[in-house]
A and B are shown apart, each in its own frame.
Chain A
Amino acid sequence: MNERFDAFHLPGFEPAGFVEVTARNLRIRVPRLEQADIRTIVSRLRAARAALLNVPIDNIIAAIDRSAALLAEDSEFRRDALRLLPAATGYSPAMCEYVLDRMAVDWRRDALHTLLAAELDNTAILDGFVEDPRTRRRITARGPDPCLHVFSGNVPGVAVTSLVRNLLVRGASLGKTARGEPVLPVLFARALRTVAPEIADSIAVTYWPSDQTALLDAAAESAEFIIVYGGDEAVRAVRRAAAPNTRVVVHGPRMSIGIVGSNALNNADSARAIAASIARATATFDQQGCVSPHAVFVQLGASISPRQLAHFIEEQLDSFERVMPRARLSPEEAAAIRNAKTRAEFAAYAGAETEVLPLEDRPYAVIYDARENFEPSCLNRVLYVRTFIETHDLVRILHPHRASLQSAAIEGFNESDALALARTLVDTGFTRITSFDRLPFPSSAWHHDGSAPLRELIRYIDWE
Chain B
Amino acid sequence: MPPRTLRQRVTDLFSRNIDQPIDDDEFDALAREVFAFQFEQCAPYRAYCTRRGIAPSDVTHWFEVPAVPTAAFKELPLVSGSAEAATLVFRTSGTTAGEERRGTHYVLDADLYRGSLLPTFRAFVLPDAERMHMLSLVLPASQAPHSSLSFMVQTVVEQQGTKDSGWYIDADRGIDADALLNSLETMIDAGRPVCILATSLAMVHFIEFLQAQRRTFRLPDGSRIMDTGGYKGRTRTIPAERLRSLYGDLLGIPADACVNEYGMTEMLSQFYDASLRDRVQGRSPSEPPVKRGPPWVRSRTVDPETLEAVPPGEPGILHHFDLANLFSIASLQTEDLGRVLPHGIELLGRLPGAAPRGCSIAMDILLDRSHE
Give me the interface of A with B, judged by CB distance under 8 Å.
Answer: 329, 331-336, 338-339, 342-343, 345-347, 349-350, 352, 359, 361, 375
Q: Quote the shortest CB–CB distance from A404 to chain B (angstroms).
A: 13
CB pair A333–B69 under 8 Å, yes or no, is no
Q: B354 — nearest CB in chain A belongs to which residue?
A: A335
Interface of A (DSSP majority class): helix
Known contacts A343-B72, A347-B76, A334 near B51 by CB under 8 Å: no
Residues in A with CB closer than 8 Å to B69 are 338-339, 342
Per-residue A-contact encoding for B43-70, CB less than 8 Å = 1, 0 else:
1100110010000000000000000010
CB pair A331–B305 under 8 Å, yes or no, is yes
Residues in A with CB closer than 8 Å to B351 are 331-332, 335
Instruction: Kindly identify which residue among B51, B75, B354, B355 contacts A359, using a CB–CB cutoff of 8 Å.
Output: B51
Instruction: Kindly identify which residue among B43, B76, B307, B354 contacts A332, using a CB–CB cutoff of 8 Å.
Output: B354
Q: Quote the shortest CB–CB distance from A335 to chain B (angstroms).
A: 5
Docked Cα-Cα span, A361 to B305, in Å, equals 10
Instruction: Show 20 residue pairs from A and B whose CB-CB distance is below 8 angstroms, ordered by the A residue.
Output: A329-B305, A331-B305, A331-B351, A332-B351, A332-B353, A332-B354, A333-B353, A335-B304, A335-B354, A336-B353, A338-B69, A339-B71, A339-B354, A339-B355, A342-B69, A346-B72, A347-B75, A347-B76, A349-B47, A350-B75
Looking at A329, A333, A335, which has the most chain B CB atoms within 10 Å of its CB?
Answer: A335
Q: B353 — nearest CB in chain A belongs to which residue?
A: A332
Given contacts A335-B353, A346-B75, 12 further A-B contacts (CB under 8 A): A332-B351, A332-B353, A335-B304, A339-B69, A339-B355, A342-B72, A343-B71, A343-B72, A345-B72, A349-B47, A350-B76, A352-B75
Residues in A with CB closer than 8 Å to B317 are 335
CB pair B76–A346 under 8 Å, yes or no, is yes
Number of B interface residues in the complex (CB < 8 A): 25
Residues in B with CB closer than 8 Å to A350 are 44, 75-76
Residues in A with CB closer than 8 Å to B335 are 335, 339
Q: Quote the shortest CB–CB distance from B102 to chain A (angstroms).
A: 12
CB contacts under 8 Å to A, within B122-157, are none
CB pair B354–A336 under 8 Å, yes or no, is yes
Known contacts A346-B76, A349-B47, A375-B99, A334 near B71 by CB under 8 Å: no
Residues in B with CB closer than 8 Å to A375 are 99
Residues in B with CB closer than 8 Å to A332 are 351-354
Docked Cα-Cα span, A331 to B304, in Å, equals 5
CB pair B305–A334 under 8 Å, yes or no, is yes
Residues in A with CB closer than 8 Å to B337 are 331
Instruction: Indicate if B74 sits at the interface (CB-CB under 8 A).
Output: yes
Q: Quote the shortest CB–CB distance from A363 to chain B (angstroms).
A: 11
Docked Cα-Cα span, A375 to B74, in Å, equals 15
Residues in B with CB closer than 8 Å to A335 are 304, 317, 335, 351, 353-354
Residues in B with CB closer than 8 Å to A333 are 353
Known contacts A338-B69, A343-B72, A349 near B43 by CB under 8 Å: yes
